[in-house]
Amino acid sequence: MVKESSVPEVVILRLPLYIRALSQMSAEGKTVISSKSLGSRLQITPAQIRKDLSYFGRFGKQGRGYTVDSLIETLTNILGLDRRWNSCVVGVGRLGKAIINYPGFVPEGFKIISAFDNDVNKIGQSVNDIKILPMNMIRSTVEKHDIKIAILAVPATSAQNVITELVDTDIKAILNYAPIAPKVPPTLILRNIDPVLSLQSMTYYLQ
């Protein structure tokens, strides 16, 4: 059987964590760190950090550790975070508005270009200088502005339908806030943000 990629997904999920911790350390004036010190900050074993990094190359110096800034650069590059990723918000209810407005919600590099909604009263209005467009303009807008990421903030009841619409566009990744487990073709990247699931599993350990 052919493997899509040889890097485990769990490893990819940890890389942004490394970048974040390294950036803090850089801000604190550290120039070199060991896997041990990075690990203790993140509560991850040093061996795991070294193993994770080893999937991509050999970035450390034996006896010394890693150069903070160059490791940040390397990881940023691996994840493709050295480019700008245009995104859009679909669904401009309370949640959608909060997402568009929340400063630092969307980090450097992720630019929200447009917002879509089906509510006739909302269309034409602006949120944080982003004009709300009708849903039927998604396809053309996505194409025109090279939007690759959709942030989905519609009610659960319409989420699957909207996703089916999105599949038909140039959107390549969906950050889904609707509390459903949507079906997407394997070519599309999907991440779910689902605080309710987190709450509902925590209680098991509280009894």
Partner DNA sequence: TAATGTGAAAACCTTCACAGCT
Partner DNA sequence: AGCTGTGAAGGTTTTCACATTA
- Site residues (CB under 7 A) for DNA? 8-11, 33-36, 44-48, 50-51, 53-54, 58-66
> Could you tell me the two tokens for 112?
């929200």
Please report where in the chains the tokens 């890389």 appear, as a residue.
Answer: 15
- Minimum Å gap between C-beta 136 and a copy of itself is 25
Report the side by side order of strands in the sheet with 130-134.
Answer: 126-127, 130-134, 110-117, 85-90, 147-152, 173-176, 189-192
Give residues in contact with a copy of itself (CB under 8 A): 12-13, 15-17, 19-21, 41-43, 78-81, 85, 94-95, 98, 101-102, 104-107, 110, 148-149, 172-173, 175, 179-181, 183, 189, 191, 193, 195-207
Q: Are 88 and 141 in contact (CB under 8 A)?
A: yes
**130 vs 193, beta carbon nearer a copy of itself:** 193
3-state secondary structure of 138: helix
Distance CA 42, CA 61 (A): 21
Nearer to DNA, 54 or 126 (CB): 54
Out of a copy of itself, DNA, none, which partner does residue 203 contact, by CB within 5 to 8 A per kind?
Answer: a copy of itself
CB under 5 to 8 A by kind: which of a copy of itself, DNA, none does 59 bind? DNA
CB of 140 to DNA, least distance (A): 38
Contact in structure between 77 and 45 (CB atoms under 8 Å): no
In the complex with DNA, which residue's Cβ is closer, 32 or 113? Answer: 32
